[in-house]
Amino acid sequence: MFLVGILGLLLVNSKKVADHFKEQIALTIYINDNAKPIEIKQLQKSLALRKATKSITYVSKEDAAQVHANEIGEDFMSFLGYNPLLNSLDVYFNADFVSPEFLSGIKTELEEKNYINEIVYDQPLLEILDENIKKITQWIILLSSVFILVAILLINSSIRLSIYSKRLIIKTMQLVGATKRFIRRPFIFKHLQLGLLGSVIALSGLTFLLYELNLRFPELNLMQNPVEIGSIYAFVLGLGILITALSTFFATQRFLNLTTDAVN
């Protein structure tokens, strides 16, 4: 149940994780030195007014030179004698709009402006991200199905062994006139308690894991949507109780339908 819960959280939050990485992809617009300040401001304003835009950062050529010098560990302008870099705008978009087609369209549109030198973005990363998220989602669904099947088999086997050890008691109760419903009731009640306890333990571990992940990766906002988390918790709790109830019912029914000679 714990593993099923983890996979459920991964499935629910896979889009959120993908959105986080998509919003880190910047469309960098390099602006020619002869561009007028009013043109740069108009470009910033027009981009900021777009629904798809999340944020815009202006990076002057001086700031870019300082960052580059820190990265390479030396001041390259000291031997070049000038700053070869350009002023630029780093544009970040909301995840729902980030796609190879969208960024390619924005790039084509902005390249028509004569004061823009170049527009770049990490196209291979974006394509790989889209492809891998789809694969990860498919694998999570497959693994979730496998773990649910394993959980059913393990719980069912454990309950059948438990009831098998009480088979003589079941048959004795039948011989003295107890109804099948009366005999099943205490077995179902007991195993429902165990199923509920197991689900609560699994959810406790899931809560601790979720808390730790949210503490270490706050930018993912894993606890931002309580409805999604609540649906996963309800699924795990309901699945544990349902498997236990059905397994107990069919296991007791099997021994109730056997003859006295077959039980021995």
Give residue-wise pLDDT tens across range 199-234: 888 888 888 888 887 788 776 676 777 787 888 888
pLDDT at 199: 85
User: Span 135-142, mean pLDDT?
Assistant: 81
Looking at residue 55, its pLDDT comes to 92
Q: Tell me: pLDDT of 99 over 60.
A: yes
Return the ∠ at Cα 134 (arms to 132 and 140), rounded to 5°.
100
Which pLDDT score, from 0 to 100, does residue 210 have? 82
Q: Rounded to whole angstroms, how far apart are CA atoms 22 and 30?
A: 21
Tell me the average pLDDT across 101-114.
88
pLDDT at residue 262 tops 60: no
Q: Does the pLDDT of residue 263 top 60, yes or no?
A: no
Does residue 84 surpass a pLDDT of 90? no
pTM reported for the whole predicted model = 0.60
Give the range among 112-121, 125-134, 227-236, 237-246 with minimum mean pLDDT: 125-134
Compare 211 and 14 and report the one with higher pLDDT.
211
Query: In the chain, what is the straight-line distance between the N-terminal and C-terminal CA atoms, in Å?
Result: 35
CATH of domain 26-121: 3.30.70.3040
Confidence (pLDDT) at 91: 93
In order, the DSSP letters of 79-146 are: HHSS----EEEEEEE-GGG-SHHHHHHHHHHHTTSTTEEEEE--HHHHHHHHHHHHHHHHHHHHHHHH
Q: What is the mean pLDDT of the chain?
A: 82
Confidence of residue 75 (pLDDT cuts 50, 70, 90): low
pLDDT band at 264 (very low <50, low <70, confident <90, very high): low
Q: How far is CA 239 from CA 7, 15, 148, 152, 207, in A?
A: 14, 24, 9, 9, 17
For CATH 3.30.70.3040, the residue range(s) in the chain are: 26-121
Nearest-CA neighbor of 249 among 195, 189, 203, 194?
Answer: 189
Which whole number is the average pLDDT over 174-189?
83
